[in-house]
């Protein structure tokens, strides 16, 4: 159970923060940057949800993603070092990845195959979802860079989840564009 009575603690005034394991790290540490960018992804999903209220099924999927992103932040903020923490740390699990895949497939079933790359836009919801896609890709780059460091364990399921997440946002953006009818397509060399 999370309980926050006091929002500021002053413990980070010297540029450090505490991981879920109790270890203190610099606020610019790659792990902190990674889970901070998960939080940024979550914030833009909240912005996208302001535009998806007329699509209750999609809005529910986005709400699930927001909850998953908190799980992902908890996963990343508590590296699996093999030490007994006195509690079971929260981890992204395979069923969360599978649910995301099923949701991608369900939305994609309504779309025609692409014949060109899609430019971000078309509708407000799609534009927000494309921003979510790009932020989630940045998150994925940070998390995979973190995972490449031998002393920085990252759950394989967390990496899989992030890889699917940007695909979800892409398909969802197309789906909100009247199932692809309002997609703005890239025309190579159009302005030469």
- At CA 115, angle to CA 118 and CA 178, rounded to 5? 55
Domain that holds residue 44: 25-78+91-182
Decide if 15 is inside a domain.
no
From residue 71, give the alpha-carbon distance in Å to each of 76, 100, 157, 179, 192: 9, 14, 12, 30, 46
**Nearest alpha carbon to residue 48 among 128, 121, 119, 120:** 128
Contact status, residue 130 vs residue 166, Cβ threshold 8 Å: no
Decide if 156 is inside a domain.
yes
Contact status, residue 96 vs residue 68, Cβ threshold 8 Å: yes
Q: What is the C-alpha separation between 168 and 185, in angstroms, rounded?
A: 19
CATH of the domain at 158: 1.20.1200.10
Decide if 14 is inside a domain.
no
Count the domains in the chain: 1
Decide if 149 is inside a domain.
yes
In tens digits, what is the pLDDT along the chain, a chain of 192 residues? 566 676 667 766 677 877 778 778 778 899 999 999 999 999 999 999 999 988 999 999 999 999 999 999 999 999 888 888 888 889 999 999 999 999 999 999 999 998 889 999 999 999 999 999 999 999 999 999 999 999 999 999 999 999 999 999 999 999 999 998 899 999 999 999
Decide if 47 is inside a domain.
yes
Decide if 86 is inside a domain.
no
Decide if 83 is inside a domain.
no
């Amino acid at each position: 159970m999370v309980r926050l009575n006091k929002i500021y603690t002053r413990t980070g005034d010297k540029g450090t923060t505490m991981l879920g394991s109790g270890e203190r790290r610099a606020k610019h540490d790659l792990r902190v940057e990674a889970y901070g960018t998960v939080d940024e992804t979550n914030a833009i999903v909240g912005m996208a949800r302001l535009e998806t209220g007329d699509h209750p099924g999609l809005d529910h999927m986005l709400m699930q993603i927001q909850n998953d992103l908190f799980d992902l932040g908890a996963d990343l903020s508590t590296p699996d070092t093999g030490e007994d923490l006195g509690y079971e740390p929260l981890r992204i699990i395979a069923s969360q990845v599978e649910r995301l895949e099923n949701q991608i497939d369900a939305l994609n079933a309504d779309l025609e195959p692409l014949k060109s790359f899609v430019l971000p836009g078309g509708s407000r919801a799609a534009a927000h979802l494309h921003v979510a896609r790009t932020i989630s890709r940045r998150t994925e780059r940070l998390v995979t860079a973190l995972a490449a460091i031998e002393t920085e364990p990252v759950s394989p399921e967390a990496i899989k989840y992030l890889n699917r997440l940007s695909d979800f946002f892409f398909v969802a953006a197309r789906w909100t564009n009247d199932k692809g009818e309002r997609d703005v397509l890239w025309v190579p060399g159009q302005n030469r």
